[in-house]
Amino acid sequence: MALSELVNGYAQPGTVMWIGVRPQRRAPVLSLSSVLITETGIEGDHRVKAGKRAVSLIQSEHLSVIAALANTDVVAPEALRRNFVVSGINLLGLRNRSFRIGEAILRGTGICAPCSRMEENLGPGGYAAVRGHGGITADIISPGRVSLQDQVEPLK
């Protein structure tokens, strides 16, 4: 099998497990059951602006890894301040690719590096615990609604 086939292959689509918005800078993250992604960003999120970091996603499978590295039992999605927690698909494979999440189409633009808030939210070493596990950022190709349990799948 050619490397390009391996790189573009997925065993299954992902699933949206959690949705959050940050209504103001440094404000608590609000958990939602659905959200509208507009041309300029996520409705209700303080970071409503188009661009390569308009949306952030993290894998649910990495939450337990981050918790272990931060020496804590559980890491709540709110503490990581991402917009979507997704399970079942390797998000890093969506970098530089278009993908559907619910009704919206996004394009993975890069890794979502941790910020200094991780030390506040997870304690000493929180920043280091998230490095390499922070998920991806994406820009918006086509707006649409995203709800819990919606699928995440790469587009050809």
In the CATH scheme, what architecture does the domain 16-154 have? Beta Barrel (2.40)
pLDDT of 48 reads 64
Which two three-digit tokens encode residue 89? 């698909």
Q: Where are the domains of the chain?
A: 16-154
- Closest-CA residue to 101 (of 114, 120, 82, 115): 82
pLDDT of 155 reads 94
What count of residues does the chain have?
A: 156
Q: What is the pLDDT along the chain (156 residues), one digit of tens a residue?
A: 887 777 677 667 999 999 999 998 888 999 999 999 999 899 999 876 667 789 999 999 999 999 999 999 999 999 999 999 999 999 999 999 999 999 999 999 999 989 888 998 999 999 999 999 999 999 999 999 999 999 999 998
pLDDT of 148 reads 98
pLDDT of 4 reads 73
Q: Which residues pair with 110 in a beta bridge?
A: 137
pLDDT of 11 reads 66
pLDDT of 12 reads 79
Claim: this prediction has a pTM higher than 0.85: yes
In the 3-class helix/strand/coil scheme, how is the chain assigned residue by residue?
CCHHHHHHCCCCCEEEEEEEECCCCCCCCEEECEEEECCCCECCCCCCCCCCCCEEEEECHHHHHHHHHCCCCCCCHHHHCCCEEEECCCHHHHECCEEEECCEEEEEEEECCCCCHHHHHHCCCHHHHHCCCCCEEEEEEECEEEECCCEEEECC
pLDDT of 37 reads 96
Q: From the centroid of its chain, how far is CA 67?
A: 17
